[in-house]
Amino acid sequence: MNLTEAPGGRGPAAAGLTACGTAEHSDAIILFGPTGDLARKKLFPALYDLALAGRLNVPIVGVASSDWTLEQLCDRVRSSLEEEVDGALDHDAVGCIVDRLSYVSGNYGDADTFGRVSAALDGATAPLAYLAIPPSLFETVVKGLDDIGANQAGRVVVEKPFGRDLASARELNATLNSSYDDEQIFRIDHFLGKEPTLDLLVFRMANAMFHPAWDRHHIASVQITMAEDFGVEGRGRFYEEVGTIRDVVQNHLLQVLALIAMEPPIDTSARELAEEKMKVMRAMRTVDPNDVVRGQYDGYRGEDGVAGDSQVETYVALRAWVDSWRWAGVPFYIRAGKAMAVTATEVVVEFQNPAQMFYADPQAIRPHSNHLRFRMKPGEGVSLLVSVKGPGESIVSQAVDMRYEYDSTRDGPHQEAYARLIGDALRGDQTLFARAQSVEEAWRVVDPVVASAPAALPYAVGSWGPELHEDLRPDDLTRLMAATPDGGWHHPLLPDGGVSDVGVG
Ligand SMILES: NC(=O)C1=CN([C@@H]2O[C@H](COP(=O)(O)OP(=O)(O)OC[C@H]3O[C@@H](n4cnc5c(N)ncnc54)[C@H](OP(=O)(O)O)[C@@H]3O)[C@@H](O)[C@H]2O)C=CC1
Ligand SMILES: O=C1O[C@H](COP(=O)(O)O)[C@@H](O)[C@H](O)[C@H]1O
């Protein structure tokens, strides 16, 4: 998990072997999908971060069907970095990537392609294969890797979505396991590599004052919001296949929920963390379709690649339950959507009110309970809302937010999630990757909703999703109410304090 650690050497002999026979450090990266969108937006910038930190010491073999030259791929790397990296580029770091790059042009369905990948590996025997490709091709590529023996001491990184439902996730796990052991499989969820996601762990484990209050006796609800103020941005075809639940709820947001709800592990090892997160997933009730509202933004059906009568959701709000001794009866609300009022991802842990609200402001729309807010985007921060005496003659409480912004103390560049995770995968550290069973449990939780979901309600671009109005059908009204916290959602707090939810219903 540490970007500044010493790099691994070239070749398994140089790097040493782990107990399960894989190299301690991968000796090459095979990037399937280097001409694609994810590579351009996230993976090349991540490799750049690793290069800057002196941790990119292995050859990179790109493999895709485009009939490109190596020079074209290098140009793609440069243009990606120019677009995605803030500030002036470090030419040594750019050179570090392009000097290590080779390119194999070929269809993944052709055995010949893998013969050429094998040749390009040039003796590397423990490659990290990154599958930045359509999920429908995972099986084909895993088989190709198996045919050339790249699975034996190698590792594989699998992108999301990991399956479409529980049944397909099980099949995919079985496919991967036919060529790789569990220790060699890295199911990437970039939310798990984000700094503020990791702070959920640290904050919970490092602040003893919250431990006694972290349960059903003190917490009224947990609210998780992932709002994006942009639409599908040219990814309409992809979005039609997934929708919001598959795109971000089954993976990112349930992983975040598990970090909030898990018991403290006995240590910080990958195994213990995975075990505790797994227990949360197992304790989660399968989501009731009556607790789910789906929405679709006005104009979505006009996006490229989107069906004119699409029913795919671009917004979802739902209520989930963790039926454990710690959390029984505490609703966990999740909402996520495109084309929303703002871009904001955050978790609000709302505490119960005191037994008596002696000094509550009679003018306030609702009493100010304490709440802890973990802001993941935009900016990154944590804040605690407490009540103090309002200044002046009357003895009335006033809510104030005590805030910490990560940028205020950050020393050095911001570490991107993908860089952290690729660095971890190269070193075989699975701490921040999703395990097979927990991915399957997460599918079990949302399966009834992805299988037969209620119709999506329209909502205006720039809004907070479908709204209560008198024309709603009774079923939709019931669902909307069920998926809305008592007293309403806490609206996200922006770093400049622009949107404050204090007292807002
Ligand atoms: N884009 C994003 O923001 C995100 C994507 N993901 C996941 O990452 C993965 C990749 O997504 P994305 O980059 O958007 O996809 P793209 O469609 O942009 O890229 C797909 C890549 O796969 C290659 N490819 C496809 N079919 C073949 C084939 N038969 N033979 C050889 N090469 C092939 C393409 O090469 P060529 O063009 O040369 O044919 C291209 O490099 C998906 O699993 C997606 O769900 C996850 C999170 C975010
Ligand atoms: O995985 C995905 O995540 C992005 C949002 O990620 P972020 O790190 O930029 O917050 C989302 O836009 C995309 O639809 C989804 O596939």
Integer CA distances (angstroms), 493 to 380, 396, 490, in order:
11, 24, 9
Q: Are strands 331-337 and 219-227 parallel, antiparallel or unpaired?
A: parallel
Q: Look at residue 473 and tell me whether its pLDDT is greater than 60.
A: yes
For 353, how many CA atoms within 13 A lie in the half-sphere containing its CB?
A: 12
Q: Is the CB of 247 under 6 A from ligand 2?
A: yes
Q: Is the CB of 38 under 6 A from ligand 1?
A: yes
The encoded tokens of residue 302 equal: 């006009």
Percent of the chain with pLDDT strictly greater than 70 = 93
Q: Look at residue 51 and tell me whether its pLDDT is greater than 90.
A: yes
The encoded tokens of residue 5 equal: 């650690």
The yes/no answer to whether this complex scores an ipTM above 0.95 is yes
Give 134 Cα–ligand 1 centroid separation in angstroms. Answer: 5
Tell me what pLDDT residue 12 has: 37
User: Strand, helix or coil at 245?
Assistant: helix
Q: Is the peptide bond before 378 cis (omega within 30 degrees of 0)?
A: yes
Burial class, 233, CB count within 10 angstroms (exposed 0-12 / middle 13-18 / buried 19+): exposed
Tell me what pLDDT residue 11 has: 36
Tell me what pLDDT residue 18 has: 60
Look up 25 and say whether it is catalytic. Answer: no
Q: What is the mean pLDDT of residues 401-405?
A: 92
Distance CA 98, CA 75 (A): 9
**Ligand 2 probe mutation, 162, 228, 233, most atoms within 8 A of CB:** 228
Instruction: Point out the least confidently predicted range of 213-222, 422-431, 469-478.
Output: 469-478
Do residues 384 and 164 lie in contact, with contact meaning Cβ atoms separated by under 8 Å?
no
Domain 192-482, CATH 3.30.360.10 — does that match?
A: yes
Q: Which residue has the higher pLDDT, 19 or 426?
A: 426
246-294, pLDDT tens digit by residue? Answer: 999 999 999 999 999 999 999 999 999 999 999 999 999 999 999 999 9
Binding residues for NADP(+): 65, 160
Q: Look at residue 414 and tell me whether its pLDDT is greater than 90.
A: no
Instruction: Point out the least confidently predicted range of 183-187, 346-350, 497-501.
Output: 497-501
Do residues 185 and 156 lie in contact, with contact meaning Cβ atoms separated by under 8 Å?
yes
Instruction: Point out the least confidently predicted range of 19-23, 111-115, 310-314.
Output: 19-23
Q: Is the CB of 134 under 6 A from ligand 1?
A: yes
Domain residue spans in the chain? 28-159, 192-482
pTM assigned to the model: 0.92
Q: Look at residue 1 and tell me whether its pLDDT is greater than 70.
A: no
* Of 25, 252, 368, 371, catalytic: 252
Q: Is the CB of 57 under 6 A from ligand 1?
A: no
Task: Pick left, alpha or beta for residue 339 (phi over 0 → left; psi -120 to 50 → alpha; otherwise beta).
Answer: left
Tell me what pLDDT residue 497 has: 64
Architecture of domain 28-159: 3-Layer(aba) Sandwich (3.40)
Give 40 Cα–ligand 1 centroid separation in angstroms. Answer: 10
Binding residues: 65, 160, 190, 194, 228, 247, 338
Q: Is the CB of 251 under 6 A from ligand 1?
A: no
User: Strand, helix or coil at 334?
Assistant: strand
21-35, pLDDT tens digit by residue? Answer: 567 899 999 999 999
Q: Look at residue 431 and tell me whether its pLDDT is greater than 70.
A: yes
314-372, pLDDT tens digit by residue? Answer: 999 999 999 999 999 999 999 999 999 999 999 999 999 998 888 888 887 777 789 99
Tell me what pLDDT residue 21 has: 58
Point out the ligand nearest to the CA of residue 76: 1
Tell me what pLDDT residue 502 has: 40
Tell me what pLDDT residue 302 has: 97
Place 503 in a pLDDT band, splitting at 50, 70 and 90.
Answer: very low
- Residue owning the nearest CA to atom 23 of ligand 1: 33
- 418: nearest Cα among 193, 97, 89, 135: 193
Tell me what pLDDT residue 263 has: 96
CB atoms closer than 10 angstroms to residue 23:
27
